[in-house]
């Protein structure tokens, strides 16, 4: 996987136009992620919510072929007309598609054939990128690249879920030397924020998804955020206090989910002789008490907040708190591939707001005031999912660093937890 994480200058000549260089870098990163996978690894689908690795590779290529090449080149001939059906995800206006729960049955095309598909599309795309683009074309290509970065994260989390079902518990990547962690580690503390009338949403400088706007004003009452995300050590206490058996801590839907699914701990946790272990992209590892807890659902995050006599932040509170912080942290480029303890001993400040774990908020994924989806098929990208899902903020240890910003809105259903999802507590001032 190491080649996936090379800096952009290592995979393109420095004199190339920025969009062309970005295209080369993102596309190369996806392929490097699957360099050590077998065809079987890249084909199997472990659950309906996940997709095979080769499907991710093909779908992100289909996006460029369908929305860029077909529109730009009048006589464009698709690499394989059947791929339009196989690798469409949810774009109703494009046409029929292979059912999502059955993507793992696509034993053909093979991984090699999918990589050849990518190569063919890339050859045409690179020829196009050498020529001038209109602003609309450049924006569409930039959308496609950010779309592929989303799928890079999904590819890694889907592989983790797949390998976790294998009794051999294989590692996706070999273990690295342990990173240097600050000692003594700063204790969690409460950071007060004044609130007031604040602007929320993307400011228009650089790329953003449509759901990040329009920018608008929100009234926030004074509030507090915990300086750190909730740790595994805190989660041990939550478990030991019987919280997974305490109905009064849970939302009604959450309690039903706990009971029906037999939930007793975060996803991938396994108790061995009184010690908690967890499956990771580097195989089975002991749970690190000082790292942020991850692979928890919204239901678990909400129950923990109630157990701790606190609450979850709203997404507006989270964005307001993070807006002037650098979007740096433990991202996929660091090659750790799991959340880490705080690596600095700075007190009196918010820590780990970006990277490590996506942080659940109390906010449903709803349109901002004045939101209008774009015209055509790409208008289906976000708007039609604004129902029954909860917003997460901040990125994770498998998010590309260039992909994240304070206004970024991720969203999942409240029961889902195969992503690197965690929680940071909030409270009224």
At 275-331, the pLDDT tens digits run 999 999 999 999 999 999 999 999 999 999 999 999 999 999 999 999 999 999 999
Number of domains the chain contains: 2
Assess whether 346 and 269 both reside in one domain. yes
Q: How far apart are CA 53 and CA 172, in angstroms?
A: 12
pLDDT confidence bin for 132, thresholds 50/70/90:
confident
Boundary residue ending a domain (165, 199, 220): 165
Assess whether 131 and 32 both reside in one domain. yes
Q: Note whether residue 399 is domain-resident.
A: yes
pLDDT for residue 182: 66
* SS3 state at 119: helix
Q: Note whether residue 183 is domain-resident.
A: no
Closest Cα to residue 127, out of 59, 73, 87? 73
Return the CATH number at 132.
Answer: 1.20.120
Kindly calculate the radius of gyration of the chain based on its CA atoms and give it in whole angstroms: 22
Q: Rounded to the nearest 5 degrees, what angle is found at the Cα of 186, between the Cα atoms of 184 and 189?
A: 160
pLDDT for residue 175: 82
Of 24-38, 76-90, 333-347, least confident by mean pLDDT is 333-347
Which residues, in sequence order, are CB contacts of 371 under 8 Å at separation 6+? 210, 211, 213, 214, 383
pLDDT confidence bin for 92, thresholds 50/70/90:
confident
Helices 18-33 + 135-165 axis angle, to 10:
10
Assess whether 236 and 382 both reside in one domain. yes
Q: Note whether residue 292 is domain-resident.
A: yes
pLDDT confidence bin for 187, thresholds 50/70/90:
confident
Q: Write down the mean pLDDT value for the chain.
A: 93
Q: Note whether residue 17 is domain-resident.
A: yes
Boundary residue ending a domain (124, 150, 165): 165
pLDDT tens string 246-281: 999 999 999 999 999 999 999 999 999 999 999 999
Closest Cα to residue 128, out of 23, 28, 12? 23
pLDDT for residue 385: 87
Return the CATH number at 415.
Answer: 3.90.1580.10
Boundary residue ending a domain (117, 148, 165): 165
Assess whether 323 and 223 both reside in one domain. yes
Assess whether 393 and 341 both reside in one domain. yes
* SS3 state at 22: helix
Assess whether 197 and 111 both reside in one domain. no
Q: How far is CA 132 from CA 25, 136, 344, 424, in A?
A: 19, 12, 45, 45
pLDDT for residue 186: 76
Assess whether 284 and 402 both reside in one domain. yes
Assess whether 145 and 265 both reside in one domain. no
Assess whether 65 and 150 both reside in one domain. yes
Q: Note whether residue 172 is domain-resident.
A: no
Provide the domain limits for residue 127: 2-165
Q: Note whether residue 298 is domain-resident.
A: yes
pLDDT confidence bin for 75, thresholds 50/70/90:
very high
Q: Note whether residue 270 is domain-resident.
A: yes
Q: Note whether residue 59 is domain-resident.
A: yes
User: Tokens standing for 260?
Assistant: 């029906």
**Residue that the structure tokens 């003594």 belong to:** 184
Has residue 397 got a pLDDT over 60?
yes
C-alpha 322 chain-centroid distance: 18
Assess whether 267 and 377 both reside in one domain. yes
C-alpha 374 chain-centroid distance: 23
pLDDT for residue 313: 98
Assess whether 94 and 211 both reside in one domain. no
Assess whether 108 and 233 both reside in one domain. no
């Amino acid at each position: 996987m190491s080649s996936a994480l090379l800096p952009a200058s290592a995979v393109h000549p420095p004199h190339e136009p920025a969009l062309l260089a970005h295209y080369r870098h993102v596309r190369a990163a996806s392929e490097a992620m699957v360099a050590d996978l077998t065809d079987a690894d890249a084909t199997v689908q472990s659950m309906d919510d996940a997709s095979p690795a080769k499907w991710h590779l093909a779908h992100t290529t289909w996006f460029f072929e369908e929305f860029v090449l077909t529109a730009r080149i009048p006589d464009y001939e698709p690499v394989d007309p059947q791929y339009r059906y196989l690798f469409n995800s949810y774009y109703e206006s494009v046409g029929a598609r292979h059912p999502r729960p059955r993507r793992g049955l696509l034993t053909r095309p093979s991984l090699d054939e999918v990589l050849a598909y990518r190569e063919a599309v890339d050859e045409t795309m690179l020829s196009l990128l050498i020529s001038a683009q209109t602003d609309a074309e450049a924006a569409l290509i930039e959308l496609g690249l950010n779309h592929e970065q989303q799928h890079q994260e999904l590819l890694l989390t889907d592989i983790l879920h797949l390998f976790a079902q294998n009794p051999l518990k294989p590692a996706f990547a070999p273990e690295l030397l342990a990173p240097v962690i600050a000692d003594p580690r700063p204790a969690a503390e409460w950071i007060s924020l004044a609130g007031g009338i604040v602007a929320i949403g993307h400011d228009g400088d650089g790329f953003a998804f449509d759901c990040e706007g329009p920018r608008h004003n929100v009234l926030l009452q004074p509030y507090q955020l915990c300086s750190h995300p909730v740790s595994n050590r805190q989660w041990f206490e939550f478990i030991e206090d019987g919280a997974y058996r305490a109905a009064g801590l849970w939302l009604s839907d959450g309690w039903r989910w706990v009971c029906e699914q037999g939930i007793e701990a975060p996803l991938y946790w396994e108790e061995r002789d009184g010690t908690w272990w967890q499956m990771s992209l580097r195989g089975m590892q002991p749970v690190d008490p000082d790292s942020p807890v991850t692979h928890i659902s919204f239901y678990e995050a909400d129950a923990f907040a109630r157990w701790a006599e606190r609450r979850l932040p709203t997404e507006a509170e989270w964005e307001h708190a993070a807006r002037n912080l650098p979007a740096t942290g433990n991202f996929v480029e660091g090659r750790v591939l799991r959340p880490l303890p705080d690596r600095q001993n700075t007190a009196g400040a918010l820590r780990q707001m970006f990277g490590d774990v996506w942080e659940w908020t109390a906010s449903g994924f709803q349109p901002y005031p004045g939101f209008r989806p774009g015209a055509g098929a790409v208008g289906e990208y976000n708007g039609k999912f604004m129902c029954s899902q909860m917003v997460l903020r901040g990125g994770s240890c498998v998010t590309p660093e260039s992909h994240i910003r304070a206004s970024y809105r991720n969203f999942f259903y409240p029961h889902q937890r195969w992503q690197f999802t965690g929680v940071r507590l909030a409270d009224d001032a």
